[in-house]
Amino acid sequence: MKESENIDDEGDDGFWSGGSFVQSISKEEMEKKNRTIHMKNNEEMDYACKRCKVKISAHNKDWHGGMCDDCFNKEIFSED
């Protein structure tokens, strides 16, 4: 009875050719981020916090808005 279940009719590339959910972020960007998400936040301390200039890791750069943990928390919890 479900007439909408005909996704497979167009072939295997039907799902990926649309790609609406990958448009906002490039494949390269995603791979870069996937690399750092599993890193510890004291690995690759090659970056600087954009607020207080303390050294931060690649993980913090990608996942904490380019900030150290302190600044990141302040940014998140600052309501005013």
Smaller CB separation from Zn ion, 10 or 46: 46
Smaller CB separation from Zn ion, 33 or 51: 51
> Do 70 and 41 contact (CB within 8 A), yes or no?
no
Smaller CB separation from Zn ion, 58 or 68: 68
Q: Provide the minimum distance between the beta carbon of 39 and Zn ion in the complex, in angstroms, as a whole number.
A: 18
Q: Which residues of this protein are in contact with Zn ion, per CB under 5 A? A: 49, 51-52, 68, 71
How far apart are alpha carbons 21 and 53 in whole angstroms?
Answer: 34
Residue 49's CB is within 10 A of a number of other CB atoms, namely: 20
